[in-house]
Amino acid sequence: MLGVFMGLDFFLFYVFWEVMLLPMYFLIGIWGGSRREYAAIKFFLYTLLGSVLMLIAILMLYFTSDLRALSEGQLVASHVVSPGLDAAARTAAVEAIRSASAPVHTFNLLALAEIGQLPDSPFAVARVWGWSLETLAFLLLLIGFVIKVPVVPVHTWLPDAHVEAPTPISMILAGVLLKLGGYGILRICYPICPGGGIALAWLVCGLGVVSMVYGAFAALAQKDFKRMVAYSSVSHMGYVMLGLGVWSAVAGTQYAWDAWAQGVNGAMFQMLAHGISSAGMFFMVGVLYDRVHHRNLEEFGGIFGRMPVYAGLAVTIFFAGLGLPGLCGFIGEVLVTLSSWKYSQTLAVISAFTVILTAAYILWAIQRVYLGAEYKGPHGDHLTPITRRELAIAVPLVILAIVFGVAPQTIFRTVTPTVNKQVKTLAEWTRVVHDARPANRGAIPAPALSGGSAGRFPADGVASTGVTP
């Protein structure tokens, strides 16, 4: 997983992406619950399908890429030509690439992004069955990544895998693995295929909102505590998708990069917050399951009386998942919802209303499990207070949930500069390159000034961090 987050070479990225699968298969398959083999193979199948589509996109991008089109500055910036060389050697290396007789292909993600953002990008020119390559590659990569996220039509592996996996593996799945998808979309899809991103913004946002609502309703219907938490993951990751997909520049006449940056920052924050709250929720479910060996929501109750410390921590984490102001879940959701207003008011309204559904299933679960007069299920005598080892896991998660909720800058300080830089580059690209293409001209009434007036959307997490990229 670390390799995936660090890889700047597309081939290496893919290798790490796949290497991750097999251990996961065995972790679920060996130590999982009763239907573990089914869940493990389902997880593996879905992810492999996604990664094969990704491989096809990688190969097509590779063979269409051509380093000769890049300038010296771009070649050095993307480390194709090592910046450590002295000026003469660097120029020689650049010359060698630029004067090559055949196209020089590359797997370098930074160079691919530079190529994808060229005015006459080969990805936009090449066509496959009437689709421009960047749209097709964006779609293939997107499918590969959203299976990991997961997003509604391809989410069905997640409840199975989460429910069958042992608690620590559920925590890894929710906390880290799901974020690979969002990371991939942000790091790979948008910079390399920006045109595809604009063309398919409706798809990304739509998928986000659909999984938000569907996940929330599905969570509401669950009888199994862990399944409910799993569906809440689907719902929460929908916000990530919506935040990533909001491409305000197309929606309005303004190239308002900061609205998009707000969405992307919100999505980044939501990924981290969800990593904490969801992992915490799975852990809390695991603590109960260890004691009473069932997860039926109907057969709990009165936990507050039997395990007060545990119940307090658990309720805090669940509130964080709910998105209560002051806890980590809130910041990401509000930023995403705000930014999506600019793209589509309908989507913004729906995503705001989803918060009510979220509140419904979480409060209802809290009511059925923790509140009430007495415990109704089997093995009641095993409900011992939380152990010190469990506390050592739960307390840091709760503390982080509160810290990130009260002081989101701790995350934004790190995240925002990178995100803003990428978003600003892409917004500028949209104005200068995308809308200048004949096919797109006229789609936007009046190309206006470039964005960057950071004061246009004041009083939100991004602007208040004070980071001016």
Partner 1 sequence: MNLGSLLTSSLSDTLQVSLPLFRPELCLAATVVLLLVCRMLPVVRWLDSAWIALGGAVFAAAYAWADLRGLPGSPWLPAATALNRHELFTGLLVFDPFTAYIRLLLAGFLLLYIPFTKISGIPGREEETDFHVLLLGAVLGMCLMASANHMLTVFMAVEMASVPSYALAGFLKGRKASSEAALKYAVYGAGAAGIMLYGISLLVGVLGSFHLPTMAARLSTVLAAGSTGGVTTALVLGGLMLAVGLAFKLSAVPFHFWCPDVFEGAAAEVGAFLSVASKAAAVALAVRLGCTLTAPPLADPAQLAGLADARFYGAHLVGLLAALSCTLGNLAAYGQTNIKRMLAYSTIAHAGYLMMGVAAAIALGGTDRAASRDAVAAVAFYLGAYLFMNLAAFAIVALLRNTLRSEEIAAYGGLIQSSPGVVVAMGLVLVSLIGLPPLAGFTAKFLVFASVAQAIALGVEKPLMIVLLAVGGLNTVFSLVYYLRVLGVMIFNPPPADRVNEPLPLVSLPGAFVTGLVAPVVVLGVFFAGLYACAQFAGGFAS
DSSP state of 373: S
Q: To the nearest whole angstrom, how small is the minimum distance from the Cβ of residue 102 to partner 1?
A: 7
What b/e readout covers 386-407, taking b as 16+ CB neighbours within 10 angstroms? beeebeebbeebbebbeebbee
**Where does this chain touch partner 1 (CB under 8 A) — which range of 25-33, 247-255, 264-272, 459-467?**
25-33
Q: Which two tokens stand for residue 468?
A: 């001016």
Rounding to the nearest 10 degrees, give the CA dihedral for residues 232, 236, 238, 244: -160
Q: To the nearest whole angstrom, how small is the minimum distance from the Cβ of residue 56 to partner 1?
A: 5
Burial class (CB in 10 A: 0-12, 13-18, 19+), 59: middle
- Which long-range contacts (C-beta less than 8 Å, at least 24 apart) are formed by 373-376? 373/301, 373/302, 373/305, 374/301, 374/302, 374/305, 375/300, 375/301, 375/302, 375/303, 375/306, 376/298, 376/299, 376/300, 376/301, 376/302
Please work out the total of residues on this chain that contact partner 1, with binding judged by CB under 8 A. Answer: 30
Q: Is 48 in the site for partner 1 (CB under 8 A)?
A: yes
Q: Is 346 in the site for partner 1 (CB under 8 A)?
A: no
Residue among 59 and 350 whose Cβ is closer to partner 1: 59
- 208-227 mask for partner 1 (x: CB under 8 A)? --------------------
Q: To the nearest whole angstrom, how small is the minimum distance from the Cβ of residue 130 to partner 1?
A: 12
Which of residues 1, 8, 15, 360 is near partner 1 by CB under 8 A? Answer: 15
- Cβ–Cβ under 8 Å, residues 233 and 308: no
Please name the residue that has the structure tokens 């080892």.
389
Q: To the nearest whole angstrom, how small is the minimum distance from the Cβ of residue 3 to partner 1?
A: 11
**CA dihedral sign of residues 448, 202, 420, 441:** negative
Residue among 60 and 360 whose Cβ is closer to partner 1: 60
User: CA-to-CA distance for 86 and 455, rounded, in angstroms?
Assistant: 42
**Where does this chain touch partner 1 (CB under 8 A) — which range of 13-21, 155-163, 190-198, 344-352?**
13-21
Q: To the nearest whole angstrom, how small is the minimum distance from the Cβ of residue 18 to partner 1?
A: 5
Q: Which two tokens stand for residue 26?
A: 């065995």
Site for partner 1 in 119-178 (CB under 8 A): 126, 128-129
Which of residues 23, 35, 45, 346 is near partner 1 by CB under 8 A? Answer: 45
Q: To the nearest whole angstrom, how small is the minimum distance from the Cβ of residue 156 to partner 1?
A: 16
Residue among 47 and 316 whose Cβ is closer to partner 1: 47
Q: Is 21 in the site for partner 1 (CB under 8 A)?
A: yes
User: CA-to-CA distance for 192 and 61, rounded, in angstroms?
Assistant: 9
Contacts of 466 (CB under 8 A, 6+ apart): none
Q: Is 25 in the site for partner 1 (CB under 8 A)?
A: yes
Q: To the nearest whole angstrom, how small is the minimum distance from the Cβ of residue 247 to partner 1?
A: 28
Enumerate the β-bridge partners of residue 127. Answer: 132
Residue among 120 and 129 whose Cβ is closer to partner 1: 129
Q: Is 64 in the site for partner 1 (CB under 8 A)?
A: yes
Classify residue 104 as left (phi > 0), alpha (psi -120 to 50) or beta. Answer: beta
Q: Is 448 in the site for partner 1 (CB under 8 A)?
A: no
**Where does this chain touch partner 1 (CB under 8 A) — which range of 14-22, 85-93, 328-336, 461-469?**
14-22
- Residue 193's nearest CA partner among 140, 255, 272 is 140
- 94-113 mask for partner 1 (x: CB under 8 A)? --------x-----------
**Where does this chain touch partner 1 (CB under 8 A) — which range of 55-63, 183-191, 349-357, 372-380?**
55-63
Contacts with partner 1 by CB under 8 A lie at: 14-15, 18-19, 21-22, 25-26, 29-30, 36-37, 41, 44-45, 48-49, 52-53, 55-56, 59-60, 62-64, 102, 126, 128-129
